Each structure stands twice: as C-alpha cells, then as structure tokens.
Amino acid sequence: MITLASDFGSPYPAAMKGVIRRHTSAEMIDVAHDLPRGDPRSAAFWLRFVLPEFPPAVHCAVVDPGVGTDRDALVVHAGSHVLVAPDNGLTMPPARALAGEEGPEAFVVDVEDPASATFHGRDVFAPTATRIRAVLDGGPDATTPADVADALAAMDDLSPAADPVDLTLPEPSVERDGDGDAVAVDGEVLVVDRFGNAVTNVPGELIRGREWIRVNGELTPVAETFGAVDSGDRLVTVGSHGYVECDVNDGRGDGAFDLRPGSEVRLVADNVSL
Amino acid sequence: MITLASDFGSPYPAAMKGVIRRHTSAEMIDVAHDLPRGDPRSAAFWLRFVLPEFPPAVHCAVVDPGVGTDRDALVVHAGSHVLVAPDNGLTMPPARALAGEEGPEAFVVDVEDPASATFHGRDVFAPTATRIRAVLDGGPDATTPADVADALAAMDDLSPAADPVDLTLPEPSVERDGDGDAVAVDGEVLVVDRFGNAVTNVPGELIRGREWIRVNGELTPVAETFGAVDSGDRLVTVGSHGYVECDVNDGRGDGAFDLRPGSEVRLVADNVSL
Amino acid sequence: MITLASDFGSPYPAAMKGVIRRHTSAEMIDVAHDLPRGDPRSAAFWLRFVLPEFPPAVHCAVVDPGVGTDRDALVVHAGSHVLVAPDNGLTMPPARALAGEEGPEAFVVDVEDPASATFHGRDVFAPTATRIRAVLDGGPDATTPADVADALAAMDDLSPAADPVDLTLPEPSVERDGDGDAVAVDGEVLVVDRFGNAVTNVPGELIRGREWIRVNGELTPVAETFGAVDSGDRLVTVGSHGYVECDVNDGRGDGAFDLRPGSEVRLVADNVSL
C-alpha cells in the first residue's frame, strides 16, 4: 500500500498515480490533497493524526515549499512504516508517532536530475515510493520494523541523513495550582478543519472534568459533544486527536473565537456555575 | 466492497480507511465526503440517488450532528446491501430504494465505549462496516437478500431496532384539472448541487410534455437539455434523479431563481406559446 | 484500469463508479472531478498533461456542455490507450500525445436511448468504458496499439467517426531576432491551477536562459523555482507541463498578473541586470 498526501489539489496527484501504476500494482490510498498550501507544520499535524490508523505502508507526503531548491528528498523509517517526503520536517511528528520507542531513522535519497524543477511529487517522490514499495513487496512480508530496516539497507541510493530538518509541534505552557491541577494554559492553534474547528496544541487531559473554561477571557462551556450546546453556541471540546478544540455547534469556531493557525489561545480554569 | 460517504471533508475519511484496511482488503469506494454538513436529509437524497447504482455492498454513511449523544448506531439491511450509519434517518430513503418490496430492516449496534466522543466515523462506523464486510466475505457469496439476512443474524452485537428514526423526503402537493393533469404543484428544494442546480421534490412526470411552466410566478421554458436555451438563460429540466430542477445554462439556478435547500417552489402549468 | 475525469464535483462520479463496478472489477482511478465546468479546452490541457503518465488504460472523460443534444459519444484509440468522451474535441490533445506518430483514431458509439438526458456520464460514457475494458481484459494482454485496435474493431457498436470535433490548443506567435532567438511572444493563458499559477501556451524553451522578461510590460524575474524569489514576489517559471507560468511565491499569480483563462500574455525579452 502507498498512501498519498499533498497540497496539490487536482489533477496533479493523478499524475503521481500514473507514475506509480506504471511500476507497481500496490494499492494507492489518498490521505488528502488539500493540505494547507506550503505549510509543513499543518501537514505534520494531520499526518500524525491519520497515519497511525494505517497498517504498515509506504506514505508519500509532498508539501514542499522548497521544491526545486537544494533541499533533500528523505526516506524515513518509522516502525513498520516508511515515509517519503521533502526534508522540511513534515515527516518527523508522524514518524515519531509511528516509530514508537525506537524512534525514526532518516535517509537521504540520491536523486538524479528530475524532469521538472517544480513537480517533484511526480518526478522524485512518487518514483521513490514506488521503488521502496517494490523492494518491500519483493522481500519477506516486511511487516516488522526489522524487515523494513533490512529492505531500506538494501537500497543503494539511500544514505543516512546527517542532519534532517526537524519540526516539533509547539508545546503549551501550563500553570498549575498547589495540587498540581492545571489552572491556566498558554497554547496556540495548530490547524483549522473544514468545519471551522480550531484545533489547539493543548492536550485534552488538561481540561478534562472542567465544566467551564475561559478562552482568551471568554467564559465557554466545556462539552463532550457538539449537541450539548444549542445550535450556534460556542463550546470547547476534546477532538478525536486528543487536543482541545474551539468549536461552534452548527457553526465555525475559527470565526466565533477569532482564531486561525498560529493564534495564541489562553485557557483559564473557571469553576463558575451558572 | 465498502462505500464511504460523509460530511467530513479531508483528511478524516483517510483515518476511516486506515482502520478498515487494518482488518480487511475489501475495496473502498468514496461516494462523497463533502455532503452538506450535519444535514441527514440532503445525505439521504444523494445516497438514494447514488447507492442503487452499486452492486451489493456495505455502505458506511456518516452525517452525524448527534455524534457523542446517546443516538444509536444502526445497521440497516436493504436487499443485498447493508448500510451502517447513525440513527438519524439518513439511511431510510436509500434503504427503501435498495430493499424493494421487502422493505429495509434496522438493527442497533451494541457499541462499546468509543475512543472519541466526536469521531465515530473512525471509532464506531468504520469498524462496524469492517466486521460486517468480514462476515459477508467469510460466508457464502452473500449476494442475495437472504444471504445478507443470515450473515447479520449471526452477528451477536446486533439487535433489532425497536424504533429507528425515520426520515421521509417531503412530498409535493399537486392540484389537478378535470382530466387529471397536474396544473399546479407545491414542492420544495431538496438539494443544490455543485452546478447550482436546485433539485426539487417534484417528480419529472408531472411536467413532462409541457413547454413552459411558471416557477414561483416566473415563466420558464421546460427543456430536456441545458443546450436548448442560450447561455445564461433559465430553464426547468428533469434531472438524472428523475426530479424537476431549476437551472441556468452555464450559470447557477439557485442564484437566478433565489432558491436554497428547503425553499418553496410553486410550479404552475402555462400553455403559453411565445 | 479505467481512469475517470469530469467536471461533476460530487457525488455524481460515485454513480459512474457503481455502474462500472456492476460489470467489471477493473481498477478505477480518479484523474479529477473538479475540472473547469463545461470547458473542454481546459479539460484537454489537463488530460494531455496527466494521461501520458499512465500505463495503457481506458480513460473516461466527461466535460460535456452539450449533454442531451445530438453530439456524438466518441471512443478514441490512441496508442495503447482508449479515450471515451463526448464529441467536443476534449479528447484530441491528449489523444495526440498518447498516440505518437500513428495519430489517434476516433469512433462513434451507437448509443441506445440513455436513461437520462443530463447524466450521460452514468448512462452512456461509464457503460461504454466498461464494455471496452471488458473486451480488452477478455482478449490477449492488449498492451500494444495493435491489440487495442483489434479489440475495438471487434465491437459492433463502434463505427469510424467521419468528422469528429477537433480542438487544438492555441499556439503562441513568436518574433525572433536575426539569430533566431525569440524576442517577443504573444500567447495566452490556458488554465489557472489551484495555486493561482497562470499556465500559458508558451513553450518553456522560448524563455530558457533568460533572467528577466516583461510580462505584459512588467519586468519579472525568470526562475527555476518558487524559492528563488521572496515570499509574495512575482516570478515566471516553466511548469512541470513544460509551459511558461506566471506565478507568485506563496501567493496567486492570476491575481498579481491579472490573468485568467483566455487572457493574452505578451512576453518580451529583457536583458536587464538589476
């Protein structure tokens, strides 16, 4: 299986699929092709959320603001998975999630002159993913991390990456009271989804058990589900990724809370009962 | 085969596909993931239109404004097809279309605590569809309604749904003349598609043979094809779903006729020749 | 393999997939379903760009402003590929790219009364692609142009197209200096992609080696990559399709250069060094 993720829109990913299909019959599954344009951090967030749901696979992820510059093409070994992507850090958060304790290991691809300077998805990353897929499919079942390591070690166009770009999603800072309970958290918005839900970097456990919380000063109910508040009302919830989201039932949280990716979010505990 | 439909946008459906692929190699086909948000009625209309084109399949359809509340998860047996969806009525119109005279039969899924309160597509519906697919694929060919009924009866986490939410797409009211011909119809807009075509609940046969009709008072040509009127001109046609649409050739009918889902549409026969 | 391209949005293509899946298990790959509405020329550009990446396949392409009129349904033999599409010219540019020196050969499909007047994607083109796929899959491997020709010759509902609509993407006019170097080119914008890149009909080799060029009078750097200019700055580059694009790094070229499909673009060589 090869998964495909990009910010390419359409029909560019189809060109990648044609290239892949010329050389392998492996299944292709789209993760997304409308990732925020040229934003490796958002891509990293979404891939960290989605890729761990998959069985062992080769994941080709191209959000590549540096296309055509001398940035490297990377192959990252992460547990039983392999990621193929430009060296801008986007693979690191999902690779850490996939690799477990062992941690990910990055290789630089020895790329020959690509056919274009602007479409390395077609000319570099899809062919690389295809070759890795073929090596994995040609060997033993390759479902353990050790099998994958062996397969990658056998490829003579990969060399260990000396200093791959790392990218760490920002961590919130937490103030705690004498009992160790979080009373205030300074975080930020990581991504906004199609529904307008503003997903922060604040882990859900920091607000669990609270009924109300101040979001940038505004008292807001904490709810498990959208349906717990009236249509059009604001709420704070813990999304399926485990992070605090600022939402509106039947509406857009980004608009109501005036938040966009990168916006600061200060959450303050408030034990009000109304 | 498992079809997938939702209002999730991207990349949430990929997480569902990962979950499915961990347990079955069954083919996955997307119906749509941009169904109108939180609107089971629109979803029901589109699924009733699309699903009958498919061979026997498991259809996983998640438009779920009540996610995380105590609404049930349903499995609906409809002919040689199975639908898996939240209990909000969205399955009923397509299930009736798929089931034929026998009618659909609904079961409640005994759901264990899902991992999230907000992403039951991943945590409840995809796993349920996967298990049903595995049972169907493990038994005989399961292409007849009786085979499917047997397979579902063998699953011990399904129990008959006592009172599933029904949802009936609204029916127009028709005034007829002495000969029984429709002379006026009061209907409403069910959905608006990507082209801005406003699809009503008025069956096409009610206007067939007419050359002109008044749409909310406005005299409008009835045509078989967009090309029958000039670019930018309004027309009324019978769409591929068999219902009357209010359209504009090379333009948007919703704007020109001032219609949106739920808008009332009064069609009055007019034998004018201009 | 059957590829699918259209301007249908969603969920119409799923109805086509259901129809195809009722009769063949051939793989289906989406090229795009958000092609510019009713615009065969844009479709032709994108298909000419994408389809040559694929191994031999049946390509079903439906951008069909004349649906329901008496325009023919075409099957076009192009090398080891087959295109199925309305007779409005959209197949011709990709078919010429796929066919090589031999050139494409078009057949008219003898269409029986389709179920709808407005959704020939479902009622005419998908069934035709399915039947061709079945004939190809039932015969020898059908990977050579001669195999494909034999398969099509065996289908009794195809007859040679006497006068298929041709569509030729416009060619730019070029002024050269005494050495034969291009000094001015009058071209036009063919398409604008998701990034706002305005893709012209000017072959990249006409500007290769230049460092600056005037685009409709405005001095603009020629660069190999977006990253060569600052974020927000304009550039001219050669896209992965081989044509000159008017772009903005991290922005939209169509807005900055005031260009849309069909806009005239005059490129004038300028040997300025700033």
Span B143-155, mean pLDDT? 91
Pairwise CA distance, residues C64 & C96, whole Å: 20
pLDDT-based confidence at residue C68 (cuts at 50, 70, 90)? confident
The pLDDT of residue A142 is: 61
The pLDDT of residue B229 is: 92
pLDDT-based confidence at residue A227 (cuts at 50, 70, 90)? confident
Q: Look at residue C101 and tell me if it is in a domain.
A: yes
Token pair recorded at residue C34: 């958000």
Instruction: Check A116 against C194: CB less than 8 A apart.
Output: no
Distance in Å, alpha carbon of C37 to nearest chain B alpha carbon: 8
Residues of A with CB below 8 A from C31's CB?
A: 11, 14
In tens, the pLDDT along B188-199 reads: 999 998 889 999
Span B73-83, mean pLDDT? 97
| Positive or negative: CA dihedral A167, A169, A170, A174 | negative
Strands (E), B136-196: 158-160, 173-176, 182-192
Same domain for A177 and A155, yes or no, is no
Pairwise CA distance, residues B254 & B79, whole Å: 35
Alpha helices in chain B (DSSP H): 12-23, 40-50, 92-99, 120, 126-138, 145-153, 253-257
CB of B114 within 8 Å of a chain A CB? The answer is no
CB of C32 within 8 Å of a chain B CB? The answer is no
CB of C271 within 8 Å of a chain A CB? The answer is no
Nearest to B69 among A3, A49, A227 (CB): A227
Same domain for A245 and A125, yes or no, is no
Nearest to C53 among A15, A38, A65 (CB): A15
Pairwise CA distance, residues A85 & B19, whole Å: 23
Pairwise CA distance, residues B223 & A6, whole Å: 42
CA angle C68, C71, C74 (to 5 degrees): 115
Nearest to B68 among A50, A194, A227 (CB): A227
Span B252-260, mean pLDDT? 96
The pLDDT of residue B221 is: 95
Instruction: Check A54 against B18: CB less than 8 A apart.
Output: yes
The pLDDT of residue B273 is: 56
Helix/strand/coil (H/E/C) assignment for every residue in A183-243 = EEEEEEEEEECCCCCEEEEEEHHHCCCCCEEEECCEEEEECCCHHHCCCCCEEEEECCCCE
In tens, the pLDDT along C102-140 reads: 899 999 999 988 888 789 999 999 999 999 999 999 877
Instruction: Please report, for the domain that includes residue A256, its CATH number.
Output: 2.40.30.90
Contact by Cβ (8 Å): A51, A5:
no
CB of C165 within 8 Å of a chain A CB? The answer is no
Instruction: Check C117 against B250: CB less than 8 A apart.
Output: no
Q: Look at residue C168 and tell me if it is in a domain.
A: no
Is residue A274 predicted with pLDDT exceeding 60? Answer: no
Same domain for A201 and A257, yes or no, is yes
CB neighbours of residue A153 within 10 Å: 11
Q: What percent of chain A has pLDDT over 90?
A: 79
Q: Which letter does DSSP use for residue A10 in this model? A: S
Rounded (10°) CA dihedral B177, B178, B180, B181: -40
Same domain for C75 and C141, yes or no, is yes
The pLDDT of residue A141 is: 66
Span A258-268, mean pLDDT? 95
**Mean pLDDT of chain A, nearest integer:** 93
Instruction: Check B15 against A53: CB less than 8 A apart.
Output: yes
Same domain for B64 and B136, yes or no, is yes
Pairwise CA distance, residues B43 & B54, whole Å: 17
B214: domain range? Answer: 173-269
Q: Which residues contact B102 (CB under 8 A, 6 or more apart)?
A: B79, B145
Q: Look at residue C196 and tell me if it is in a domain.
A: yes
Which residues on adjacent β-strands are paired with residue B159? B108
In tens, the pLDDT along C33-64 reads: 999 888 999 999 999 999 999 999 999 999 99
Residues of C with CB below 8 A from B190's CB?
A: none
Query: Quick one: how far is CA C111 from the chain centroid?
Result: 25
Domain finish residue from C160, C186, C210:
C160
pLDDT-based confidence at residue B152 (cuts at 50, 70, 90)? very high
The pLDDT of residue A179 is: 86
Instruction: Check C53 against A9: CB less than 8 A apart.
Output: no
Query: What angle do the packed helices C92-99 and C40-50 form, to 10 degrees?
Result: 20
Distance in Å, alpha carbon of C113 to nearest chain B alpha carbon: 13
Instruction: Check A11 against C29: CB less than 8 A apart.
Output: no
Same domain for B151 and B194, yes or no, is no
Span C181-196, mean pLDDT? 91
Same domain for B20 and B156, yes or no, is yes
Question: A with C: how many residue pairs have Cβ under 8 Å apart?
Answer: 83
The pLDDT of residue A253 is: 96
**Residue B153 backbone dihedrals phi, psi, to 5 degrees:** -65, -25
In tens, the pLDDT along C134-168 reads: 999 987 766 799 999 999 999 999 999 999 999 99
CB of B116 within 8 Å of a chain A CB? The answer is yes
Nearest to B68 among A32, A225, A250 (CB): A225
Instruction: Please report, for the domain that includes residue B116, its CATH number.
Output: 3.40.50.10790
Is residue B49 predicted with pLDDT exceeding 90? Answer: yes
The pLDDT of residue B240 is: 86
The pLDDT of residue B80 is: 96
Same domain for A65 and A19, yes or no, is yes
Residues of B with CB below 8 A from C22's CB?
A: 53-55
Burial class (CB in 10 A: 0-12, 13-18, 19+), B175: exposed
Q: Which letter does DSSP use for residue C16 in this model? A: H
Residues of C with CB below 8 A from B53's CB?
A: 14-19, 22, 122
Strands (E), C48-91: 58-62, 73-78, 81-86
Token pair recorded at residue B59: 């259809």
Residues of C with CB below 8 A from B222's CB?
A: none
Is residue C272 predicted with pLDDT exceeding 70? Answer: no
Which residues on adjacent β-strands are paired with residue C75? C84, C107
pLDDT-based confidence at residue B142 (cuts at 50, 70, 90)? low
Q: Between the CA of residue C260 and those of A147, C125, C189, C237, C252, what are the distances in Å?
A: 51, 30, 6, 17, 11
pLDDT-based confidence at residue A273 (cuts at 50, 70, 90)? low
Pairwise CA distance, residues B232 & A256, whole Å: 37
Rounded (10°) CA dihedral B43, A29, B66, C11: -10
Instruction: Check C51 against A17: CB less than 8 A apart.
Output: no
Domains identified in chain B, total number: 2
Is residue C181 predicted with pLDDT exceeding 90? Answer: no
Query: Which of C205, C225, C230 should be substituted to probe chain A, the one whose Cβ sees the most A Cβ atoms within 10 Å?
Result: C225
CB of B230 within 8 Å of a chain C CB? The answer is no
Same domain for B238 and B144, yes or no, is no
Q: Look at residue A274 and tell me if it is in a domain.
A: no
Residues of C with CB below 8 A from A10's CB?
A: 32-34, 194
Alpha helices in C171-261 (DSSP H): 253-257
Same domain for C152 and C195, yes or no, is no
C212-215 and C158-160 strand pairing: unpaired
Question: What 3-state class would DSSP assign to C203?
Answer: strand
Span B51-70, mean pLDDT? 93
The pLDDT of residue B179 is: 86
Q: Which letter does DSSP use for residue C170 in this model? A: P
Q: Compare all CA atoms of chain B with the CA of A225 and give the residue at the minimum distance.
A: B68
Is residue B158 predicted with pLDDT exceeding 80? Answer: yes
Instruction: Check C240 against A123: CB less than 8 A apart.
Output: yes
Q: Look at residue A166 and tell me if it is in a domain.
A: no
Residues of B with CB below 8 A from C18's CB?
A: 50-55
Same domain for B46 and B177, yes or no, is no
Same domain for B11 and B72, yes or no, is yes
Count the helices and strands in chain A (H runs, E runs): 7, 15
The pLDDT of residue A272 is: 62
Instruction: Check C51 against A18: CB less than 8 A apart.
Output: yes
CB neighbours of residue B117 within 10 Å: 20
CB of C32 within 8 Å of a chain A CB? The answer is yes
Question: What 3-state class would DSSP assign to C64?
Answer: coil
CB of A144 within 8 Å of a chain C CB? The answer is no
Pairwise CA distance, residues B135 & B154, whole Å: 9
Q: What is the DSSP string of A85-109?
A: EESSSTTHHHHHHHHGGG--EEEEE
Q: Look at residue C248 and tell me if it is in a domain.
A: yes
**Residue A124 backbone dihedrals phi, psi, to 5 degrees:** -125, -55
Span A194-212, mean pLDDT? 91
Q: Look at residue A165 and tell me if it is in a domain.
A: no
Which residues on adjacent β-strands are paired with residue C200? C189
Q: Look at residue A168 and tell me if it is in a domain.
A: no
Is residue C224 predicted with pLDDT exceeding 90? Answer: no
Q: Name subunits touching C (3+ CB pairs < 8 A).
A: A, B
Instruction: Check B22 against A55: CB less than 8 A apart.
Output: yes
Domain finish residue from A160, A184, A215:
A160
In tens, the pLDDT along B204-240 reads: 999 988 999 999 999 999 998 888 899 999 999 998 8
Domain finish residue from C160, C194, C217:
C160
CB of C26 within 8 Å of a chain B CB? The answer is no
